[in-house]
């Protein structure tokens, strides 16, 4: 009995299912079709669609309006005659070209939004706002981790803490906004980290996270411009946010391209160095190199500045807790973050103090002190304006 011939639409659907499940047997089961029938039709597909381009064009014509073709599979054979499927997808280059194109269309910031610079700034002290891993986009549940967390909570708390610390800084010639990485909790629409593919607990949508991160970054920069004649922005590559950190730096650079008071440091490398007189600061998120290795990298890569500087500091994030070490020739310090722990960190037993810090660094004398904003103080400030702001309860043991 001849094999029933599938219609063009049926064949395309069959090809899609075979591609999705990677097996003719599994696809036949899903389609409720005899395996041999499907196998015969797949082998005849090359006669119906002579080239991959023709197949792709035909399939693209069937995509509903508002959607796009992410990839397609093409049946062929190896030189030895073994049947294979070639699975293709749009090049990653297309994604980055799209990002670059979008950034180019960003309109420069309205000059009327730029606060006036202070009249008599301190030329020696450069305040550093140390923004530990913000993890905007993370979702946490009180019953699992002890505290709720989502985009709305994170945005309100980090903006309140940053504003209070910036306002407490002295009027200065320069200020550094040091985003230590992991400003966002994930990098893909699948809510995964790009490098490791780790799935994370996310607050519903990628675009909501990005909108919040943009608003936070622009708000902090503008707030700093009211305290400093010039603001330098550092966006470190975090293991949760690496691709987002790259385009955020590009976005802020484009936004302020006509504003000589804002400089966005290049962040193509995970190690960023900042020289201020006798003081050298090198920043790295902390996922690539531990403190001692970080020191070796900094002293090697920036040997001229390392040799000329008298005060050397290595800033890190990643671990979420405060850790200060005096190493040979420098001081390493990891900085706390404001966000609570997610379920992974909670179940793993990691605990740390939630706070944000502003460090006063002198060109001539290095570290001159710091202002610390604990999360409890941040919440108290918010509650004065927003009495409904979420505050986690005190964890208590069961009482018999």
Structure confidence at residue 29 (pLDDT): 77
Per-residue pLDDT in tens (0 to 9) along the chain, 400 residues: 555 666 666 766 777 676 665 567 777 777 888 877 777 777 666 455 444 445 445 555 555 555 555 555 556 666 666 666 655 555 555 555 555 665 666 778 887 778 888 888 999 999 999 999 999 999 999 999 999 999 999 999 999 999 999 999 999 999 999 999 989 988 877 777 776 777 788 888 888 888 899 999 999 999 999 999 999 999 999 988 898 999 999 999 999 999 999 999 999 999 999 999 999 999 999 999 999 999 999 999 999 999 999 999 999 998 888 889 999 999 999 999 999 988 888 888 888 899 999 999 999 999 999 999 999 999 999 999 999 999 999 998 999 9
Structure confidence at residue 103 (pLDDT): 61
Structure confidence at residue 55 (pLDDT): 47
Closest CA to 280 of 298, 267, 262, 260: 298
> E-strand spans in the chain?
71-77, 83-89, 125-131, 172-179, 228-235, 262-264, 272-276, 279-283, 311-316, 323-327, 330-334, 355-362, 366-374
Structure confidence at residue 50 (pLDDT): 43
Structure confidence at residue 382 (pLDDT): 96
Structure confidence at residue 123 (pLDDT): 92
**How many other C-beta atoms are found inside a 10 Å radius of the C-beta of residue 120?**
6
CB 184 within 8 A of CB 210: yes
- DSSP, res 187: -
- Domains, the chain, with CATH or none: 8-89 (1.10.10), 112-385 (3.60.21.10)
How far does CA 130 lie from the centroid of its chain? 16
Closest CA to 360 of 309, 290, 310, 311: 311
Residue identified by tokens 């036949």 is 28
Structure confidence at residue 95 (pLDDT): 53
Q: How many helices (H) and strands (E) does the chain have?
A: 14, 13
Backbone angles phi, psi at 127, to 5 degrees: -70, 140
Quote the CA–CA distance of 384 and 353 in Å, as a whole number: 23
């Amino acid at each position: 009995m001849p094999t029933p011939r599938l219609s063009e639409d049926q064949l395309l659907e069959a090809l899609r299912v075979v591609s999705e499940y990677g097996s003719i047997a599994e696809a036949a089961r899903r389609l409720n079709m005899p395996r041999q029938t499907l196998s015969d039709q797949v082998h005849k597909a090359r006669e119906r669609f002579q080239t991959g381009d023709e197949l792709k064009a035909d399939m693209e014509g069937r995509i509903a309006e508002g959607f796009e073709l992410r990839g397609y599979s093409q049946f062929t054979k190896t030189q030895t005659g073994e049947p294979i499927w070639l699975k293709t997808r749009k090049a990653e280059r297309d994604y980055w070209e799209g990002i670059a194109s979008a950034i180019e269309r960003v309109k420069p910031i309205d000059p009327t939004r730029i606060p006036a610079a202070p009249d008599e700034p301190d030329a020696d002290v450069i305040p550093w706002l140390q923004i530990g891993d913000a993890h905007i986009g993370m979702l946490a549940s009180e019953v699992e981790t002890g505290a709720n967390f989502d985009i709305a909570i994170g945005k309100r708390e980090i903006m309140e803490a940053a504003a209070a610390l910036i306002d407490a800084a002295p009027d200065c010639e320069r200020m550094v906004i040091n985003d230590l990485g992991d400003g966002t909790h994930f990098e893909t629409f699948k809510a995964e980290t790009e490098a490791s593919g780790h799935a994370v607990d996310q607050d519903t949508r990628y675009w909501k996270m990005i909108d919040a991160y943009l608003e936070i970054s622009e708000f902090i920069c503008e707030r700093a411009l009211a305290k400093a004649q010039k603001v330098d922005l550092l966006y470190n590559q975090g293991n949760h946010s690496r691709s987002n950190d790259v385009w955020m730096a590009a976005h802020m650079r484009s936004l302020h391209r006509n504003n000589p008071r804002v400089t966005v440091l290049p962040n193509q490398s995970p190690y960023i160095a900042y020289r201020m007189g006798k003081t050298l600061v090198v920043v790295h998120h902390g996922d690539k190199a531990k403190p001692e290795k970080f020191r070796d990298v900094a002293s090697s890569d920036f040997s001229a500045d390392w040799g000329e500087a008298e005060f050397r500091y290595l800033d890190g994030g990643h671990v979420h807790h405060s850790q200060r070490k005096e190493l040979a020739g420098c001081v390493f310090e990891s900085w706390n973050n404001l966000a609570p722990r997610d379920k992974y960190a909670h179940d793993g037993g990691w605990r740390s103090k939630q706070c944000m810090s502003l460090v006063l660094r002198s060109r001539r004398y290095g570290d001159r002190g710091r202002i610390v904003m604990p999360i409890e103080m941040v919440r108290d400030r918010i509650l004065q304006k927003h009495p409904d702001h979420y505050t986690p309860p005190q964890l208590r043991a069961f009482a018999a």
